[in-house]
Amino acid sequence: MTETVPRPTLEAVAARAGVSRATVSRVVNGSDGVREPLAERVRQAVDELGYVPNQAARSLVTKRHDAVAVIVAEPETRVFADPFFARQLRGISKELTAHDNQLVLLLTEDRDDHVRVGRYLAGGHVDGALVFSLHIDDPLPELIQRAGLPTVFGGRPDFNGGRGGVSYVDSDNRGGARDAVRHLLGLGRRRVAHITGALDQTSAVDRHDGYRDVMADADPRLVARGDFTPASGERAMRELLGRHPGLDAVFAANDLMAAGALRVLREHGRRVPEDVAVVGFDDMLPIAEQTEPPLTTVRQDIEEMGRLMARLLLRDLDHTGTPEETSGARPDGLILPTTLIRRSSA
Amino acid sequence: MTETVPRPTLEAVAARAGVSRATVSRVVNGSDGVREPLAERVRQAVDELGYVPNQAARSLVTKRHDAVAVIVAEPETRVFADPFFARQLRGISKELTAHDNQLVLLLTEDRDDHVRVGRYLAGGHVDGALVFSLHIDDPLPELIQRAGLPTVFGGRPDFNGGRGGVSYVDSDNRGGARDAVRHLLGLGRRRVAHITGALDQTSAVDRHDGYRDVMADADPRLVARGDFTPASGERAMRELLGRHPGLDAVFAANDLMAAGALRVLREHGRRVPEDVAVVGFDDMLPIAEQTEPPLTTVRQDIEEMGRLMARLLLRDLDHTGTPEETSGARPDGLILPTTLIRRSSA
């Protein structure tokens, strides 16, 4: 809109209600000490004029914006291409909405933009931050820390945050990976390959560690690096078939890469699961049900992770400054269990 | 993070540089009037201490937050399910990033949340708003107007905004629809059906009008309502086949619905394009290339629309208050042309 109706002012409300500016301010900011008939008159004037309190001024009093920033430490293009993020955002959105907090998603093109994100966070526009998909050496955590904002991470960060610790929600990535590989061994497979996720992220490192817990003596050429994208799953599968044509099973660190691996196996005439059994990670629907054959995978409850991140943060915001919270009495990391889901691929 | 390093204060910077608070404030806020060697000393102290200016205070001076809100007037789930939004956001994100403005995406669960969005917009957290996918009777425009924020809409809104007019970017929906239907007639088709989009949105109304411009005398039962989702395309196609088994062409108001219609036609043993020719709208890749058969469609440059929305808004922000801009001298609506893309379906 190039032209806008002038906003009704505090003064206009005061005049309409026949009270002082200070009285209007007190009522609008929800402080006590204004007698009821007077307070009611102010509220009526607010309604009649459609007065919207200046939140910047209001939040100087309440110290709350009722808004939470969400930062996905990935380029905007990946945020929309990988359904993992949509699912986590869904959980966050539901929880924040239930508490009448605005979800403020800060999108970026690349890591250079994180400085600008830090500036916005420091600007007093949100009460706290939810951050996911951190990569090692990302400048974001330090920028957020400087901004002085309560933060909950999705996925274990690779630093401990000093004395106070770091709040995060994660899945049992290592345990889930162990379950996947043990399941493959239980089917009688012996040459179990692994396609890793982006190894600058703890989720990928933990799943790789889980694979190695079970396959400690395996040929290292059975491991190929991916980065969680479908294309990287295809590439890694080709690499593995070239290096190790006798492999009889693959554990991929997420379902998108497993789907890519299935395409390449089909291309090479390998039957799944007869020749090569495949297990993914995530249980990303509908993808995991629509692959050929449908994918056996390790389920993590991504939406619930998002919901819990939001819940932890809102609890932090409600308790800021109480001694129990700041002394680190509560657990820093909340780890959700995973479940192996059997379909046809293994 | 439950614990954070205390933020360096303005006072600390002043002490380090050996100047007054007022001098630091002037330098940080980019105002003139501080001699160079002094200003340089302040900048050095800012760097050394890692001082982040309090943007809330700073923006009281500069009146700019270097942040722009984007609101998609759809539930968060649809924002992530329909690639149209990702594409428009990509254009917006590129343009805002190029101008070092933060993209602040405000997500909602449903229309009830628009009041909360209005509150955030009125709170002095952003310089302007980009709004798309408005539905008729949506309270958002009024809430934004009350917030007093410069706004550019994606898609023509169904109101004119009063004297000042409304800034928007749109595609030539009506012209594109005419092209689609004329193409079908040019192929010798006579019983051309139409699957509409959500008719509480101007894009759907305009495409329907374009269809009627060419098919003024057509049987009204050749038109079935959809809502832009793939499921609605399937439903509408079934309805049309039931009502009008002799139809020989379909123009669907977007590619997602056209893809749904193709599935239903295949199910019913109708060959495309031999028995029924199908044209979509959007040229949404890769979908439009991957349907069976690949889809003939009306291309609109969605990413460019996003880019232009951001550009128009940034121009507005740079010129606020200059008479040429507020007198409505520049065009309110920017309409981009569409192109018919021929593939195999028609």
What does the pLDDT average to over A142-161? 86
Mean pLDDT on B74-89: 90
Nearest residue of A to residue B152 by CA position? Answer: A1
Contact between chains at B3 and A165 (C-beta distance less than 8 A): yes
Contact between A144 and B1 using a beta-carbon 8 Å cutoff: yes
Chain B contact for A285 (CB, 8 A cutoff): no
CA of B137 to nearest chain A CA: how many angstroms apart? 17
- Report the pLDDT value the prediction gives residue A138, as an integer from 0 to 100: 87
Q: Residue A124 and residue B55: Cβ atoms within 8 Å?
A: yes
What mean pLDDT is predicted for residues A176-202? 97
Using N-to-C axis directions, what is the helix angle for B114-122 and A55-62, rounded to 10°? Answer: 90
Nearest to B156 by CA among B174, B168, B144: B168
In whole angstroms, give the CA distance from residue A116 to residue A40.
Answer: 43
Chain B residues with CB under 8 Å of A80 CB are 80, 83, 86, 89-90
Task: Determine the 3-state secondary structure of B168 from DSSP.
Answer: strand
Question: Measured between beta carbons, which residues in chain B are less than 8 angstroms from residue A100?
Answer: 116
Measured in angstroms, the CA of A326 and the nearest CA of chain B are apart by 6
Q: What pairs with residue A333 in β-bridges?
A: A168
Which range is least confidently modeled, A177-181, A296-300, B88-92? B88-92
For chain B, first and last CA: distance in Å?
57
Tokens of A319: 């308790």
Give the closest-approach CA distance of A164 to chain B in angstroms.
5
Residues 6+ apart with CB under 8 A from A280: A252, A254, A255, A257, A258, A259, A288, A295, A296, A297, A298, A345
- Burial readout B100-135 (b: 16 or more C-beta within 10 A, e: otherwise): ebbbbbbbbbeeebbebbbbbbbbbbbbbbbbbbbe
Say which residues have a Cβ less than 8 Å from residue B299's Cβ, sequence separation at least 6: B282, B283, B338, B339, B340, B341
CB A343 within 8 A of CB A305: no
Token reading at B236: 């509408």
Residue type for B141, please?
P
Q: State whether residue B64 sits within 8 Å of chain A by CB.
A: no
**Each residue's pLDDT tens digit, B269-317:** 999 999 999 999 999 998 999 999 999 999 999 999 999 999 999 998 8
CA distances to B156, B212, B252 from B174, rounded to whole Å, are: 12, 10, 13
Domains of chain B and CATH, by start:
10-62 (1.10.260.40), 67-170+303-334 (3.40.50.2300), 173-299 (3.40.50.2300)
Query: Which pLDDT does position B329 carry in this prediction?
Result: 44
Which residues of A fall within a CB distance of 8 Å from B52?
118-119, 122, 146-147
Q: Please enumerate in sequence order all residues whose Cβ is within 8 A of that of A144, keeping only pairs 6 or more positions apart, or say none.
A: A118, A121, A129, A131, A151, B1
pLDDT tens, position by position, B127-174: 999 999 999 888 888 888 888 899 999 999 987 665 567 899 999 999
| CB-based contact, A119 to chain B, within 8 Å | yes
**pLDDT 10s digits, A42-84:** 888 887 887 766 555 555 556 688 999 999 999 888 888 888 9
Shortest CA distance to A73 belongs to which of A18, A175, A151?
A151
Is A122's Cβ below 8 Å from some Cβ in B? Answer: yes
Instruction: Report yes or no for ipTM above 0.90.
Output: no
Q: Residue A328: pLDDT above 50?
A: no
